[in-house]
């Protein structure tokens, strides 16, 4: 190293390396790098542009002396440093066609010369560019280039380390949020199946991921009337789980005020149409089981399958939805279905579509026909047992294919 760069410069680099090793936040680390570059290379301004690989853009997360700048990584001197993975020296910025004059026009700054340093890691990945402007005395030299390359290699490793630490911390944070969301969601499901005179009622839920968009609910409206609901919010993860929580709260609040089922459906649909983003919706079937009359009154907003097994005839009926899914069209009617009048041994089945749409490796779906056959063969089981029998049969059919959709079931059987 020539006399142009004294032992003092090496001391600065050593100090920078030590400070970078102690840094656990990306922002302060980048500021340290920019200040070090300006001090070691004796220039007026320093900027760090991180490379956004997905957008193929460079963004100035640190720009000492100017505001944020974002531009295509295919343009300009910084872009050339990225794609050549090489230090670029520009002795006269205004004479170089690669230089973007617009930035100087916007900031009022005049750039004389530039030293652009790619920030690399040993495997060749480029993380960004450290760009230094306006050497204090004269122009940047070949000695500056060597020192800049050393600084770029040193800082590239430090930035990569910090990015990995940030990713790990973000992953841990998301894991904690998912755990919390799952706890909240599980806490909203009924703690036990209802005990009813003359009826066997059971519910069950299994999410495809940590959280899901399915839910079921039971809550008494009076001593002889039980509200029952099953719902499926589109998608998987925290978003649909929050929608499911919202639906549960609205259904309990509005139904508890004594509204009839169609009025409840209309109110919830209007609220969801306001709240949900485009492409989001909820299918739901909810109703009231009148125990003395052995009758289930319900509405179905785009929900299925709904199946009724008649013990007397050993037949299974399927029922269509009585309206569109909620959250799609505000004024779309959701009508009251014909009531289910239970006779001894009859079974009403409310499932989300994750059961019948589970496919095995060759793409064949489980389908309603297999579900109906299982119901016929095992209808004498209790409702909790029958749900597990259905689930085991779907698992057997799937031949190892993973669960990709949430599963929720509610079964209502008259003794």
- In this structure, the answer to whether residues 157 and 201 fall within a common structural domain is no
Per-residue pLDDT tens over the stretch 171-220? 887 777 777 767 766 777 888 999 999 999 999 998 887 667 788 999 99
The reply to whether 380 falls in a domain is yes
Q: Is the dihedral of CA 357, 358, 364, 366 positive or negative?
A: negative
Q: Is residue 209 located within the same domain as residue 352?
A: yes
* 398 part of a folded domain: yes
- Spatial separation of the C-alpha atoms in residues 181 and 67, rounded to whole Å: 38
Q: Are residues 120 and 232 in the same domain?
A: no
The answer to whether residues 39 and 159 belong to one domain is: yes
Give the residue ranges of the chain where pLDDT is below 70.
Answer: 1-10, 12-13, 16-25, 61-68, 181, 184-185, 210-211, 236-237, 257-258
Do residue 164 and residue 202 come from a single domain?
no
pLDDT tens per residue across span 18-47: 666 665 667 777 787 788 788 888 899 888
CA gap 137, 118 in Å, rounded: 23
- Residue 180 inside a domain? The answer is no
- pLDDT of res. 128: 86
Residues 49 and 146 in one domain: yes
> Alpha-carbon distance 191 to 332, whole Å?
34
- The answer to whether residues 351 and 391 belong to one domain is yes
CATH number of domain containing 202: 3.60.40.10
Residue 160 sits in the same domain as residue 236: no
My answer on whether 138 and 239 are in the same domain is no
Return the pLDDT at 64.
46
**Sheet of strand 282-290: strand arrangement:** 214-222, 225-233, 282-290, 295-301, 340-341
Query: 164 and 194: one domain?
Result: no
Q: How many domains does the chain have?
A: 2
Range of the domain at 95: 7-169
pTM: 0.62
For residue 138, being part of any structural domain is answered with yes
Which residue matches tokens 């990015």? Answer: 163
Alpha-carbon distance of 38 to 46, in angstroms, equals 6
């Amino acid at each position: 190293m020539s006399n142009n760069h004294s032992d003092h410069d090496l001391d600065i680099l050593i100090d920078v390396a030590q400070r970078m090793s102690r840094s656990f936040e990306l922002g302060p680390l980048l500021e340290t790098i920019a200040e070090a570059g300006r001090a070691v290379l004796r220039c007026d301004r320093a900027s760090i542009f991180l490379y956004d690989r997905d957008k193929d853009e460079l963004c100035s997360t640190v720009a000492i002396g100017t505001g944020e700048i974002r531009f295509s990584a295919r343009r300009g001197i910084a872009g050339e440093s990225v794609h050549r993975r090489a230090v670029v020296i520009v002795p006269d910025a205004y004479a170089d066609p690669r230089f973007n004059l617009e930035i100087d026009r916007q900031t009022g700054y005049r750039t004389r010369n530039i030293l652009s340093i790619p920030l690399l890691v040993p495997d060749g990945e480029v993380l960004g560019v450290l760009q230094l402007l306006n050497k204090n005395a004269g122009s940047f030299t070949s000695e500056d280039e060597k020192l800049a390359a050393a600084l770029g290699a040193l800082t590239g490793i430090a930035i990569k380390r910090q990015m990995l630490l940030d990713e790990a911390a973000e992953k841990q944070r998301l894991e904690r949020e998912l755990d919390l969301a799952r706890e909240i969601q599980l806490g909203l499901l009924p703690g036990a199946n209802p005990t009813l005179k003359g009826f066997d009622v059971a519910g069950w839920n299994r999410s495809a991921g940590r959280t899901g968009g399915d839910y079921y609910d039971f809550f008494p409206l009076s001593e002889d009337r039980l509200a029952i609901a099953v719902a499926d919010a589109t998608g998987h993860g925290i978003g649909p789980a929050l929608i499911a929580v919202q639906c549960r709260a609205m259904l309990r609040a509005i139904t508890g005020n004594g509204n009839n089922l169609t009025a409840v459906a209309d109110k919830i649909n209007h609220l969801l149409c306001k709240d949900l983003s485009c492409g989001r919706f909820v299918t739901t079937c909810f109703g009231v089981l009148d125990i003395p009359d052995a009758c289930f009154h319900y509405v179905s907003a785009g929900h299925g399958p709904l199946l009724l097994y008649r013990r007397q005839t050993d037949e299974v009926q399927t029922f269509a939805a009585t309206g569109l899914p909620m959250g799609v069209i505000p004024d779309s009617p959701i009508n009251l279905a014909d009531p289910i009048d239970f006779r001894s041994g009859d079974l009403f089945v409310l499932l989300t579509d994750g059961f019948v749409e589970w496919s095995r490796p060759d793409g064949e779906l489980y389908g309603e026909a297999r579900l109906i056959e299982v119901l016929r063969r095992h209808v004498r089981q209790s409702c909790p047992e029958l749900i597990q029998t259905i689930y085991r049969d779907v698992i057997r059919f799937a031949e190892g294919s993973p669960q990709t959709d949430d599963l929720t079931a509610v079964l209502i059987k008259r003794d």
